[in-house]
Structure 1
Amino acid sequence: MDEDTNAAVRRFPDRSRAISDRAARDEGFREMCADLATAEAELRKWSTSTVPRREQRIAEYNVLVDELAREIETTLDASVVPFPKR
């Protein structure tokens, strides 16, 4: 797994297999994982910053990280194929 996909695995460790499988076949999903990794890196950067707009940027990146995580989770949930009822 690459670092981008690892960002999703860190967020959803119990779904690492599903993340890996989906990333192997879905470029859009890989891009979501890359966006999450980038947003998390920016959040870490801003968390150590001392510039005046620090708090605003932290809040923005927290929202972005949460939204991307929800989007990844929704995509993974849509990948689950339920067993037919008997």
Structure 2
Amino acid sequence: MQHAVQAAIARFPDRGHAIAELARTDEGFQSLCEDFAAAQAALVHWERSSSPVREARCAEYRELVRDLAVEIQAELDRHSQE
């Protein structure tokens, strides 16, 4: 889980404390961070690939990383208002 939290903190460094705290107390948020880290790792894999489907997969994973980042930000915003 620590790697996943670090991936989220790297994306939102100004909210690092909030990310760590929320990941510690919310299993759903932990899972979201894990999905984000996995999507980033997959993107790196495809960026390094020489496969003929490289560009399509990169586009898919860039969109997934972007969408998961939006979800992480929304969760942080929601919890900061509580």
* TM-score, normalised with respect to structure 1: 0.92
Alignment gaps of 5+ in structure 1: none
RMSD between superposed Cα atoms in Å: 1.2
Extract structure 1 runs of 4+ deviating beyond 4 A.
Answer: none
1:70-85 correspondence to structure 2 within 5 Å? 70-81=70-81
1:1-80 correspondence to structure 2 within 5 Å? 2-80=2-80
Provide the C-alpha distance between the structure 1 equivalents of 2:55 and 2:21, rounded to a whole number of angstroms: 37
| Matched residues, number | 82
Deviation track 1:24-72 (CA, whole Å, cap 9, x = no partner) reads 1100000000000000000000001001000000000000000000000
Alignment gaps of 5+ in structure 2: none
Fraction of identical pairs, as percent:
46
Question: Higher helix proportion, which one?
Answer: 2
Structure number, greater radius of gyration = 1
